[in-house]
Amino acid sequence: MTTASADAHGHHGDHGHDHPEHLAHHFDTLEQQFDSCKLGMWAFLLTEVLFFSGLFVAYATLRANNPEIFSLAASFLDTKWGAINTVVLLVSSFTAAMSVRNAQLGETSKLKRNLLITLVCAGAFMCIKYVEYSHKYHVGLLPPGMEHSMFNPETPYIPHGDHTGEYLELQAHTADMTPAERVHTMTTLGRFFGVYFFLTGLHGVHVLIGMGVIGWVLMRANRGEFGPDNFTAVDLVALYWHLVDLVWIFLFPLLYLIH
Amino acid sequence: MTEHAHDSHDDHHGLGHVLPVKLLAGVLGALIFLTLLTVLTGTTYLYGFDLAVALLIATTKATLVCVIFMHLKWDKGFHAFAFIGSVLFVGVFLAYTLTDTKQYQDQIRDYAADTAIDSPFAQPLPDPPADHHHAAGEEHAAGEEHAEGDEDNH
């Protein structure tokens, strides 16, 4: 089914010589083409590791020098949502790995189903992130540069109404501190939330991009493009998705589970 | 190629290696189990080994994802080499930065103590403004001490 359907839209059909359907002209064999794509993707993935590492190092230096403040900061994150999101991403990683298998075996309907589940899980992850972010916005737990942040060093935002819980906790916690201690605590908490939003935000952007490319692969799967000799796109998108999962595997315990 | 569709144990199917469903499902089960475990260990007191335990569990999960889900076990060794190489360089980045930043902590604390008086946080955190649940006027006569930042009342 794969070779026949690819003719319908591919421009390979009119080559008129003996040439595998999905082989680009600048490659000698399908295997060489596949290996080149994989190498390129792995090169990209390792740059992604390095890309995220800057923020992880910022996190590590802050935490190493202020362990007690990080433990206080983590108490403002909801472990329940973090754990649910971890499971959601793990399931989506599983369905991404399953879709590679489906593409390799030419099981198009299963492939479409697994890609769709992956996409839905990614959407669920972002919805939960939205719930968490909007709560932090309302109570003022934002990076210190933001106007609506209670850690803003110029004009700290003071939450009111139903959103004072975290603020009152901090007020009580810092009440008996010396001025220098209190300034240090509030400043460092602000930096924690800076690192928190940049790390989870950069990760969230990766999830959104992942949803885009998974959607694109799903559209191609709908056209019946993938099969045993043409599953590279599914394979590479799954690799990317696994990396997004890998980053979260470290983010969850490092941000949510600090004593 | 349809006859191959039923042969899930074929190690060299076309271009890549096809993973059996049982293996993938087993890995998912292990990953979810380790997630529950890390929630458990992360919410109990572990005598200062919390971070080490959390990182050990996370690294085990990451290894499962890399080796099985990302096919590294059956992939070209060079891909694993390059990927592990990037992680090692992150380790170098981390180690050097951490040792360096430790050197300056006293100076940073001194500077912070000297300049603390300029910060609004030098004073105890003011009470939140009394809020009459979306009452029309925010300028209520509550007589509370309103700190800076109050102009952002919305």
In chain B, the residue whose alpha carbon lies closest to the alpha carbon of A59 is B94
Residue of A90, A183, A229 lying closest to B121 (CB–CB): A183
Is the per-residue pLDDT at B150 higher than 60?
A: no
Q: For residue B52, which residues of chain A lie inside 8 Å, CB to CB? A: none
Q: For residue A100, which residues of chain B lie inside 8 Å, CB to CB? A: 16, 19, 71
Q: For residue A185, which residues of chain B lie inside 8 Å, CB to CB? A: 121
Is the per-residue pLDDT at B24 higher than 80?
A: yes
Is the per-residue pLDDT at B151 higher than 50?
A: no
What is the distance between the alpha carbons of residues A208 and A16, in angstroms, rounded to a whole number?
A: 41
> Chain B 56-115, CB below 8 Å of chain A: which residues?
57-58, 61-62, 65-66, 68-71, 75-76, 78-79, 82-83, 85-87, 89-90, 93-94, 97-98, 101-102, 105, 109, 112-113
pLDDT tens string A89-118: 999 999 999 999 999 999 999 999 999 999
Contact of A183 with chain B, judged by CB distance below 8 Å, is answered with: yes
From A107's Cα to the closest Cα of chain B, the distance in A is 8
Helix axes A30-65, A67-74, angle to 10 degrees: 110
How far is CA A76 from each of CA A37, A79, A93, B10, rounded to the nearest angstrom? 43, 9, 28, 50
Is the per-residue pLDDT at B1 higher than 90?
A: no
Contact of B123 with chain A, judged by CB distance below 8 Å, is answered with: yes
Q: B111: pLDDT confidence band, cut at 50, 70 and 90?
A: confident
Strand (E) or helix (H) holding A236: helix A232-251
* Stretch among A202-216, B55-69, B117-131, B133-147 having the lowest mean pLDDT: B133-147
Task: State ipTM.
Answer: 0.86
Q: A219: pLDDT confidence band, cut at 50, 70 and 90?
A: very high
Contact of A111 with chain B, judged by CB distance below 8 Å, is answered with: no
Q: In a mutagenesis test of the B interface, which of A166, A183, A231, A236 is the best target, namely the one with the most B β-carbons within 10 Å?
A: A183
CB contact under 8 A, B147 and A168: no
Let me know: does B4 contact A105? Beta carbons within 8 Å.
yes
What residues form DSSP beta bridges with A227? A230
DSSP string of A51-64, one letter each residue? HHHHHHHHHHHHHH
Q: For residue A252, which residues of chain B lie inside 8 Å, CB to CB? A: 35, 38, 58
Average pLDDT over residues A249-259: 92
What is the distance between the alpha carbons of residues A207 and B100, in angstroms, rounded to a whole number?
A: 33
Q: What percent of chain A shows pLDDT beyond 90?
A: 70
Q: Which domains, and CATH codes, for chain A?
A: 39-256 (1.20.120.80)
**How many Cβ atoms are within 10 Å of A48's Cβ, its own excluded?**
17
Greatest mean pLDDT among A11-15, A230-234, B29-33, B135-139 lies in: B29-33
Average pLDDT over residues A176-181: 88
Give me the pLDDT at residue B149, please.
Answer: 43
- Residue A193: both structure tokens together: 């939330």
Is the per-residue pLDDT at A9 higher than 70?
A: no
Residue of A49, A93, A101 lying closest to B65 (CB–CB): A93
Strand (E) or helix (H) holding A146: none
Helix axes A30-65, A232-251, angle to 10 degrees: 10
Give me the pLDDT at residue A144, please.
Answer: 93
- Helix, coil or strand: residue A155: coil
CB contact under 8 A, A155 and B121: no
Q: A17: pLDDT confidence band, cut at 50, 70 and 90?
A: low
Let me know: does A177 contact A185? Beta carbons within 8 Å.
yes
The alpha carbon of residue A55 and the mean position of all alpha carbons in its chain are separated, in whole angstroms, by 14
| In the block, residue with structure tokens 């007191």 | B45
Give me the pLDDT at residue B133, please.
Answer: 54
Q: B132: pLDDT confidence band, cut at 50, 70 and 90?
A: low
Give me the pLDDT at residue A101, please.
Answer: 95
Give me the pLDDT at residue B39, please.
Answer: 94
- Residue B69: both structure tokens together: 């889900």
The average confidence (pLDDT) of chain A is 90
